[in-house]
Amino acid sequence: MTAARGVLLHPITMGLFLQSLFLLLLLLGSCLHPAAAFPKGCYPSEEEGLKTFRCSNAQLTEVPRDIPNDTNKLYLDFNQIPFLPRDAFRDLPLLLELDLSHNAITRIESGAFQGLAEHLHSLDLSSNRLVSVSKDAFSNLKAKVNLSNNPWLCDCRLQELIRAVELAADSSGGIVCDSSTQEEHVGKAFLQVIADTDFCNVYKKTTDIAMLVTMFGWFAMVISYLVYYVRQNQEDARRHLEYLKSLPSKQRRSEESSTISTVV
């Protein structure tokens, strides 16, 4: 009897065991699946009550697409990201801090930070390869921006950018002219340079001078053409008069009358 009961219980026990194992595998799968979707070297965490996503030194060449949309702090520093496309962070409406320092960023498209204006308060773009960026790339952005340690071209465009953003504390001294429209500014801090030089005003004056030179050139061409036209007509009139003088008197008077009537 006991042996028979053991035989009956064995399949039931095995069924329960297999069911438990299957549920355990499902549970593990649901836990591991999100992590498996992240790029290598990236992981989520929680720091001081804020949801953080770290991809520091993960050899990334573009902004990851599978970042949790409830992320508050995003670290993409020490990678090889070359540029920021439009809407690169549009699915991160709760982002407060964005660290893109120590990358290879040379270009930022207009609208790259679209969707971050409401909450973002810190944006680090230091130690990249930025030479020139339009102020439109930071349109409506209220975050404090770190632009230090980039090979900036000091010109009107950079001046407009600096006036359009709020610089992070103690970062302004790191915005140095790697090149400039005026050679004497190279190697100097940009804020020190614009204290004495208005790049946009210089550009406007240069543009005005160029326009004046162009207008003068066109005016000179018109005058030259008019002078040529008058002289050519005078030459033709002189030749015609000489021709009339060479004719017999009657024919000459007839030609002169015809010429006078034509003129009248």
Between the ranges 38-47, 91-100, 254-263, where is the mean pLDDT highest?
91-100
pLDDT exceeds cutoff 80 at 13:
no
In the structure, what pLDDT confidence band is assigned to residue 6 with cuts at 50, 70 and 90? very low
Position 217 scores a pLDDT of 62
pLDDT exceeds cutoff 80 at 240:
no
Is beta strand 144-146 parallel, antiparallel or unpaired with respect to 122-124?
parallel
pLDDT digits (tens, 9 = 90+) for 139-172: 989 999 999 999 999 999 999 999 999 999 999 9
Average pLDDT, integer, range 97-117:
95
Position 21 scores a pLDDT of 55
For residue 144, the cross-strand partners are 122, 166
- Distinct helix (H) and strand (E) counts, the chain: 5, 11
**CATH class of this structure's domain 35-197:** alpha beta
Mean pLDDT of the chain: 80
For residue 123, the cross-strand partners are 98, 145
Q: Which of 9-13, 119-123, 126-130, 227-231 has the lowest mean pLDDT?
A: 9-13
Q: 17 or 191: whose pLDDT is higher?
A: 191
Cα–Cα distance measured from residue 5 to residue 157, given in angstroms and rounded to the nearest whole number: 88
Q: Which of 1-15, 34-48, 247-261 has the lowest mean pLDDT?
A: 1-15
The type of residue at 95 is: L
Q: 96 or 234: whose pLDDT is higher?
A: 96
DSSP-derived 3-state class of residue 240 = helix
In the 3-class helix/strand/coil scheme, how is 126-144 assigned residue by residue? CCCCCCCCCHHHHCCCCCE
Position 262 scores a pLDDT of 46
DSSP-derived 3-state class of residue 259 = helix
Cα–Cα distance measured from residue 12 to residue 34, given in angstroms and rounded to the nearest whole number: 35
Q: Measuring CA to CA, which residue among 158, 180, 125 is closest to residue 188?
A: 180
Q: 13 or 132: whose pLDDT is higher?
A: 132
Position 202 scores a pLDDT of 62
pLDDT exceeds cutoff 50 at 233:
yes
pLDDT exceeds cutoff 90 at 246:
no
% of residues, the chain, pLDDT over 70: 64
Average pLDDT, integer, range 76-85:
98
Q: Measuring CA to CA, which residue among 96, 152, 157, 90 is closest to residue 126?
A: 152
Q: Is the dihedral of CA 242, 248, 253, 257 positive or negative?
A: negative
Q: What angle is formed at CA 41 by the lines to CA 38 and CA 44, rounded to 5 degrees?
A: 55
Is beta strand 152-154 parallel, antiparallel or unpaired with respect to 166-167?
unpaired
In the structure, what pLDDT confidence band is assigned to residue 99 with cuts at 50, 70 and 90? very high
Q: Tell if the pTM clears 0.85, that is, is over it.
A: no
pLDDT exceeds cutoff 80 at 26:
no
